[in-house]
Structure 1
Amino acid sequence: MCAAGRRWGRRQRALLCAVLLAAWQAAWGQLRYSVPEEMPKGSFVGDVAKDLGLQLPEIRDRGVHILDKGRTQYFALHGKTGHLVTAARIDREQLCEEVQQCVMRCELVVEGKMQVYVIQVEILDINDNAPSFREAETELKMIETTALGSRFPLPDAHDPDSGRNSLQSYELSGDEHFSLAVQAGPGGDQRPELVLAKALDREEAAFHELVLRASDGGDPARTGTARIRVTVLDANDNAPVFSQAEYTVRVPEDVPVGSVLVTVTATDADEGLNGQMKYSFKKI
């Protein structure tokens, strides 16, 4: 009898749990709203009372409240209006930086009726971030004999916004010797490259200053910049040049040995070892 009674008790409890679960599931509903990020606390999200057919006295008397499972309470129910409002400022990039669609979930519980409603709130992106580069200035070194069309990777920018508000394009300005090419990465990201469009000459210009600008697609668009400094390395592309092509000297036949007859001068436009010279006679 005792064993049979225990089995009957377990069946009763299981039946009761099944009935309660069915009751909760029958009362389960779902609402979906959207709100822009960075709205101030207390901003309107949705008219919960109207959408669920709840009367304001029910909200006050039946223990209706919002259950948010996160550490921060982002939504609240306004008892006088039945509106779902923001309970804190929401930063979409902080919550969903790597997610294209940012949806937050909370529950509205009506304790008196054993009803639970799931509320999904999509956080809409606003253009509150500009593209930015990790380094404000980048230096590249190129030998002056670098072939035309050579490509050099440039730093890329990052924009935590999504959609059109994220990074859309790059632009290069500052010098006719270089142009910009943008390659598509495997994940659809843009990778800027510096292309040599005109031959370099260190003796003409040892440095080139460029500005790389990244823009998003917001209206108005927001931009970020990085300075690109190209240092041109010397190649031994210049020969020494004398100040005159020919030196003519007249001397008397009795000039003393060791007398200075003429001073010749040559210059080399290269630098370092490439510009160092020594003089010698090839034929006497």
Structure 2
Amino acid sequence: MIRLGRGTAGALLCALLGTLSAAGFRQIRYSVPEELDKGSYVGNISKDLGLEPHELAERGVRIISRGRSQLFSLDPRSGSLVTAGRIDREELCAQSAPCVVSFNILVEDKLKIFEVEVDISDINDNAPSFPTEELEIKIGELTVPGTRFPLKTAFDPDVGMNSLQNYKLNSNDYFSLAVNSVIDDAKYPELVLERALDREKKAVHQLDLIASDGGDPAHTGKLCIQVIVLDANDNPPVFTKPEYRVSVLENVPVGTRLTTVNATDPDEGFNAQVPTSPSTPIPVSFMHCVPLIMSSFKT
């Protein structure tokens, strides 16, 4: 018995295929949607080979080469080419289109090779999805209307009309949506400020960004957007009274509470702090009371 190394065996196989190709070569094409069950019909291979179903085994018809032949098998009873398992187009070809699987079928007794190409067509089995379910955006309340803020993009592994087609923002009074398309047809959503913000009226805005594909029915994905309005020092403190008048007896004891002064500021944090010092000069005769007066201001 003569033993051949891998390299020699590979060379002989290539030579054999070359000889068979010279003897006879035909191409057969089929198309099948992805995600079919195992054993699903692809094409009448016996008819396309010019054989009866029972002749597939008799004439040594088998699938060879191309590495992906395990995706399909021959059914000797019906003479059909069938799926050997469930085919996921996205796993097989990612977003490349078309997605074509090629392999050879050898008819041994005729010394013929038939090249078979199966086009795996996409079905709308995926919905657009965002990298995160929520997005927080902080915007200063003095931001100029027309300012744009980039949003996260959705991804849909399907192709053609089954892929991501558009974005939509829920109806609201302050923001709109702009979608920019680039050369590769990718779509990038931006949040556009339409009117001036007022934190004191509304500090948080809840928005929904919806991404949809072009399937029928369409599949959608949602991004929840929380816009937090950052405070600006755009409000002055307001006292409860425009003027406070107090009558004091000359012999009132030191430390006696004369009145309470209240002021509020609708801003927050440091911007809401109200100065606790009188803005007008204090008479010299009352200078010894300054600490008491200053400490009596309330916010």
Q: Normalising to structure 2: TM-score of the pair?
A: 0.84
Superposition CA RMSD, Å:
2.1
Distance 1:127 1:254 in 2: 90
The one of 183, 197, 200 equivalent to 1:186 is 183
Q: Is the 8 A contact 1:174 1:209 kept in 2?
A: no
Q: CA deviation at 1:254?
A: 4.8
1:262 aligns with 2:229: no
Q: Is the 8 A contact 2:21 2:112 kept in 1?
A: yes
Name the aligned partner's letter for residue 249 of structure 1: V
| 1:14 paired residue number | none
Distance 2:173 2:260 in 1: 42
The one of 94, 112, 117 equivalent to 2:114 is 117
Q: CA deviation at 1:259?
A: 3.6
Structure 1 segments unaligned to the other structure (5+ residues): 1-16
Distance 2:212 2:116 in 1: 36
1:216 aligns with 2:213: yes
Q: Is the 8 A contact 1:39 1:90 kept in 2?
A: yes
Corresponding residue SS for 2:197: coil
Q: Is the 8 A contact 2:68 2:102 kept in 1?
A: no
| 2:80 paired residue number | 83
1:197 aligns with 2:202: no
How many residue pairs match? The answer is: 268
Q: CA deviation at 1:279?
A: 2.1
Q: CA deviation at 1:68?
A: 4.9
Spell out, residue by residue over 1:217-250, the C-alpha distance to the aligned partner (whole angstroms, 9 max, x if none).
Answer: 1110010101111111111111111011122333
Q: Is the 8 A contact 1:207 1:229 kept in 2?
A: yes
Name the aligned partner's letter for residue 215 of structure 2: G
| 1:136 paired residue number | 133
1:32 aligns with 2:29: yes
Name the aligned partner's letter for residue 75 of structure 2: H
Distance 1:86 1:31 in 2: 16
The one of 270, 274, 282 equivalent to 1:273 is 270
Distance 2:194 2:115 in 1: 59
| 2:292 paired residue number | none
Spell out, residue by residue over 1:160-212, the C-alpha distance to the aligned partner (whole angstroms, 9 max, x if none).
Answer: 00111100111111632111110112321000000111211111122111111
- Using a 3 Å threshold, how does the CA distance of structure 1 residues 21 and 281 change in structure 2: closer, same or farther? closer
Q: Percent identity?
A: 54
Distance 1:242 1:209 in 2: 33
Q: Is the 8 A contact 1:62 1:112 kept in 2?
A: yes
Corresponding residue SS for 1:274: helix
